[in-house]
Every structure is written in C-alpha cells, then in structure tokens.
Amino acid sequence: MIEKLKILWQFSRPHTIIGSTLSILSVYLLCYLQPEGKFDGFVLLISLISALACNIYITGLNQWSDVEVDKINKPWLPIAAGTLSKEAGLRIVLVSGAISILCTLFFHWIFAAMILSILAIGTAYSLPPLKFKRHHLAAAGAISLVRGLMVNVGFYLHFRQSMIGELTIDTAIWPLVIFVSAFSLGIAWFKDIPDTAGDAVHKFGTLAVNTGRKTAFFAGVFVVSAAYLFLAVASLAKLFPNHVFGAVFHITVLLVFQYKSLKLDLKNEEAIKQFYMFFWVLFFAEYLVYPGMYL
C-alpha cells in the first residue's frame, strides 16, 4: 500500500501539487482578508480537492501520452520507469478528471466553467490534434493562461461568490495575476531546458530546441526578473498596505535569483535540474508571502 501511494505521489508531480495547493490557499486567504471575508472550511476543502484532482489529470495525461519521450528525458517517472502500467496511469487520469468535475456540482456555474476550461486546456496540451506541448508559444501560453489568469482570477471569483454571494473581484488579485503569468512563462521555458535530448528526437518544437538552451534560459530569466521588479516597484509605490515588507522581500529574492542564474552552468544537467527545483521554491514562496502584503 505504501509503495502504491509513493508511485501515485510521483505520478502526480509533487512540485505541481504543492504549487497548486499553495496558490488555492493563498487566493482564499486574500478573499478572507477583504472586509466581507468569512471562513467556510467546506468550500475551501472541496475546491482544493477539485483543483488537485484537476492537477493530477493534467500531469498524469502528459505522462501517459509521452512515455517514449519520458524514457529519454525523465526515465524515473512511474510509467516510463515501468513501476506503473500505462493502463493504470490512464485509470488514475480518468478518475482524477471525474473527481474534479464532480466537485464542481457543489458550487456556482463559474467554478464548473473554470475547471472544465482548465481540463480542456490540459487535454489540448498533451493530446493530438492540438498537442500544445509540441509548440513553444502554445505551450507557454497555455501554462501562463492557466496558472496566471484562470487559477488566480477564477478561484478568487469562486471564493468571493461563496463568501458574499457576488462575483466580485478586488484589485488585490491583479498584481498577483501579472506576476504569476510572467513567472509561468519562466516555468514553461525552464522546464524544457534539461529535456532537449528527448524533445529533439521526437520533434517537439520547444524554445530550448528551436533556439538553444542559452536563449531559452535567458528569456526565462528576463521575464521572471521583470516580474519581481514589477512587484518591487509596486511595493515602493505603496500599492500594498504592507509595502515595506513587499519591497524588501521582492528585491531580496530578485537579487538571489539573479545570483543563482549567473552561476548556473547550462552544460551541467544536474545543476539545471536543481535550478528548476529552486525556481519552484520561489513560486511557493510568492504564494506564501503575497497575502502578507495585505495585512
């Protein structure tokens, strides 16, 4: 049983599960901090289950559809490694998608529309005929749209509707949307850098394959640095109640990110993977910190 749970955890891509969990909790907290905010554990729990099941559907479908690519790029993933059969992987994907959709029955139509849209984009990302993953602009756009706009705005609207019965959105969410949208472009470009071998063999037109690792890396560094600079300047302009904290945090993280970027050896596969995981830690940190700027 423990071994099966371990395989399921690996199949879910833990860093994406953690990222999704923190993003939902952070957006909920932003809603709760508004004057009309009130806590509802049931709404939060069912919404989180739906989001995480949706996450597993998308990451699992990606693995199920690209086993041969993963055997080159990520041979440790369950299906590629042979610890999970392709049939079992598909069952997990379908059950996860069903759970995500069923959870929407408890809520307003806006939540169902958002979850169904995210599932549709995730399907188009991995499966023909669209298979966004093969085209770097479509892939980056899909990731940025889902993580930047749909998750933050969609869940904010959903939580506000559950709290006060109205589909309203506060200005507090928009700086986060801008930041995460840009950050997600970095995720899209950075994640493909260590995968150029398999992507090239299977003719995936990622930015790293089309332009080279160096160009893809510095494109990601540029947009992510711009995102941090945006929140630092917004903090200095007193856009947030706790603007001193916001400015200090984002300037500090920007400097650390730049330092790590300059030190990275793009010929060192292990160093690239470590940098990518460090990058996800920055993603986690932003969602942990952002509500604090409104305290």
> pTM for this one?
0.94
Structure tokens at 23: 């993003």
* Amino acid identity for residue 2 in this structure: I
Q: Is the dihedral of CA 272, 278, 280, 286 positive or negative?
A: negative
CA 178 to each of CA 37, 68, 165, 172: distance values in angstroms, whole numbers, following the listed order: 23, 35, 26, 11
Percent of the chain, pLDDT > 90?
Answer: 88
Read off the pLDDT of residues 229-261 as tens digits, 9 standing for 90 and up. 999 999 999 999 999 999 999 999 999 999 999
Query: Secondary structure of the chain in the HEC alphabet?
Result: CHHHHHHHHHHCCHHHHHHHHHHHHHHHHHHHCCCCCCCCHHHHHHHHHHHHHHHHHHHHHHHHHCHHHHHHHCCCCHHHHCCCCHHHHHHHHHHHHHHHHHHHHHCCHHHHHHHHHHHHHHHHHHCCCCCHHHEHHHHHHHHHHHHHHHHHHHHHHHHHHHHHCCCCCCCCHHHHHHHHHHHHHHHHHHHCHHHHHHHHHCCCECHHHHHCHHHHHHHHHHHHHHHHHHHHHHHHCCCCCCHHHHHHHHHHHHHHHHHHHHHCCCCCHHHHHHHHHHHHHHHHHHHHHHHHHHC
CB 247 within 8 A of CB 232: yes
Q: What is the pLDDT of residues 138-182, one digit of tens each?
A: 999 999 999 999 999 999 999 999 998 888 888 899 999 999 999
> Could you count the other beta carbons within 10 Å of the beta carbon of residue 37?
15
Amino acid at 191: K
Q: Has residue 36 got a pLDDT over 90?
A: no
Q: State pLDDT tens for residues 5-23.
A: 999 999 999 999 999 999 9
96, 56 contact by CB (below 8 A): yes
Ordered domains of the chain (ranges, CATH) = 2-294 (1.10.600)
